[in-house]
Amino acid sequence: MAKKQSYPAPFGDPVDIETDTAVTIAELTRVCRGRAKGVSIRVRTAAGTDRRGGYLFHFAPHDRGFVLFDYRKRHLHRFDSLDQLLVFVNHVAGRQFDEAILDLCDEINRKVGEAGANP
């Protein structure tokens, strides 16, 4: 059995976005407000136990958009706008499929795999 590892979110405790539909630009803007150094978010279903999981995203504003990080705060990708980041979040969280993001996910997964799984 694989050993479960738990790492702290790079920008503190994740901010929850609880929804069964696509995350909106208003919701993403709300969680970014006042977090110039970055934010970790968890997109999860609207109902269920407080212990339910979700999809974690770690990102920070950048002078040219937003930078996506892994849990070790390694740079994974830069998005030119909050709108582009939103499309990524909705695709990965299973809320709204996007063909271009599917290709980007393959690229990010290769980058993460090359970096290794051990901290």
The verdict on residue 35 lying in a domain is: yes
Q: How many domains does the chain have?
A: 1
Domain with 40 in it: 15-115
The verdict on residue 5 lying in a domain is: no
| Residue 10, C-beta contacts closer than 8 angstroms, at least 6 positions apart | 38, 40, 58, 69, 71, 72, 73
Q: What is the residue-level pLDDT of the chain in tens, covering all 119 positions?
A: 444 556 678 999 999 999 999 999 999 999 999 999 999 999 999 998 888 889 999 999 999 999 999 988 999 999 999 999 999 999 999 999 999 999 999 999 988 887 765 44
Look at residue 49 in the predicted model and tell me its pLDDT.
86
The verdict on residue 30 lying in a domain is: yes
Look at residue 26 in the predicted model and tell me its pLDDT.
97
The verdict on residue 7 lying in a domain is: no
The verdict on residue 4 lying in a domain is: no
> pLDDT tens across 73-93, in order?
999 999 999 999 999 999 999
Surface-to-core class of residue 57, CB atoms within 10 Å of its CB (0-12 exposed, 13-18 middle, 19+ buried): buried
The verdict on residue 77 lying in a domain is: yes
